[in-house]
Chains A and B, each alone.
Chain A
Amino acid sequence: MKIVNYLIYILLVLPGSLLARDDAAGAESGWFNPDTWPTLIISVISILVVAYTIIAARRGKAVKLRAIPGLKAVEEAVGRATEMGAPILYTPGYGGDIQRPTTIASMNILSSVAEKVAEYDCRLIYPTHDPVIMAVAQEVVREGYTRIGYPDRFRPDDIFYISSSQFGYAAAVDGIISRDRPASIFLLGTFEAESLILAETGNSIGAIQIAGTDSTIQLAFFIVACDYTLVGEELFAASGYLSQNPSILSSVKAQDILKLIIALFVIVAVIWATVDPLSSWWRY
């Protein structure tokens, strides 16, 4: 009965209260805003391409990814830390929240790293600037340890929240790197100005560093200071690459198809704009 009352509230009462709110109405107040046609078309094409690749994958069509050096090096990094008896440091950077796709991609790699760390009985230190990311990471790592069969090796205290302040976070992680001297450092996520500070400190202690970020500026710093860098969408392909899950691999293929479509569009638009400079159909 309580559930029925709640459903009535959600389906009938709440919409009524929503309609009563004042809002600054835009020019288009119909169910569909015609100004959003281009976005809708591009969105539908993207969704169809992703859907096609997922269906094709489920029907058995294999998807092969090229080797991604940074991800191949994960095993080497964990092995090195085990040999040296030193911990592994993994941090998702300051710039992202859990809702950010880059952070989710980082969590996928963390899951794989956690499995390897559990297997080798190595220490995994995971400092973060966001309490929600901390909570999710604890679950991800715990699941990783449990999947491999070593739930007792999981140390929740090694996954902790530091500070929501950028350089408070950077200073703390630098301190951890300097004092605990990890053998391997994973810098995977959204980074801002603290990227080079962390990468150079890691370089100064001789750690092997695997980095990846969605920021083009910080990528340049990582390429200089780190041993392996995941460039651009390699970070997002990691989930499929490490898990070899067909559905996820298929979405990586979808990315490539969409990139091809965009490239074709750019070529056509450039040629058209060169031939007819006054044209504007390609503008949005």
Chain B
Amino acid sequence: MALVQQAAAARAAAQRRARLEPLTELVRKDLKVKYKNSALGFVWSLANPLLYLTVFTLVFSFFLRNNVPWFAVLFMSGYLVWSFFNSAALDSTGAVVGNANLVKKVRFPRVVLPLASVGFAGVHLVLQLVVLFVFLVPFYPDAFGPQLWLLVPALAVAVVFTVAMSLLASSLNVRYRDVQHLLEIIILAWFWLTPIVYPVTVVREELTNAGLLWMFKFYMANPMTPVVVAAQRAIYNHSVVTADNGKLVQVLPAGGYGFYVQWLAVAAAISLVLLVLGLWTFRRLQADFAEEL
């Protein structure tokens, strides 16, 4: 009898260990479903960053001339990380609600549902970064240097922050379905509050001119800002550039790494607090998921 119990206990432990199994399979499923019945499949995801690069190079060179050379590279460095956060957060909002049938009928760790949305967006981020780097090899070799390592902590913070937001959004949306609509609006505003389309230095200059430099700290407290700025520093790799009109323009706040590491640390701290809050909220609410759906 004791042996049987031991075996049962061991298998229960194995069941707990295997809890991330559904995660990889769910991500695999999402990827397969997305590209099912499309002839080019993954090529679409890869074409996306190239299309953006082309369009924004044109836009920033002709229509919205800001004289910054290779502004499209600066833009893409931040935009790819942002779109990871953007699609993961919006996707995960509906992750629990959209899998109601599963949640009501099958016992499995519910937390894998929002995590799968993050994983799905993560796979795309990696693929798109690869495409970007392939493009950078011939056109923008400046990107390849030791500063690229900055991308590692930047992406790590982005993942922690995104997971935290996904846990919050997916669990709260079960109870209050308008979280989804609210989040869409918030994320749109958030995009413009993050230095993606404009360099962060513009904000600092304007705030300095207005005598409100102390507000810059609050601007940087948005965890996505240090992430985006660090990614720009890593890939664009120039803080001061000669503009097309011959003037020197500062596009990134610092040439060294101190500024970025420091702010990434702040963003990491905020993200970890949010992660704890997200896990706590998710755990608290998940007991009622099957009832609420």
Instruction: Check if A and B associate.
Output: no
Residues in A lying within 8 Å of B, measured CB to CB = none
Residues in B lying within 8 Å of A, measured CB to CB = none
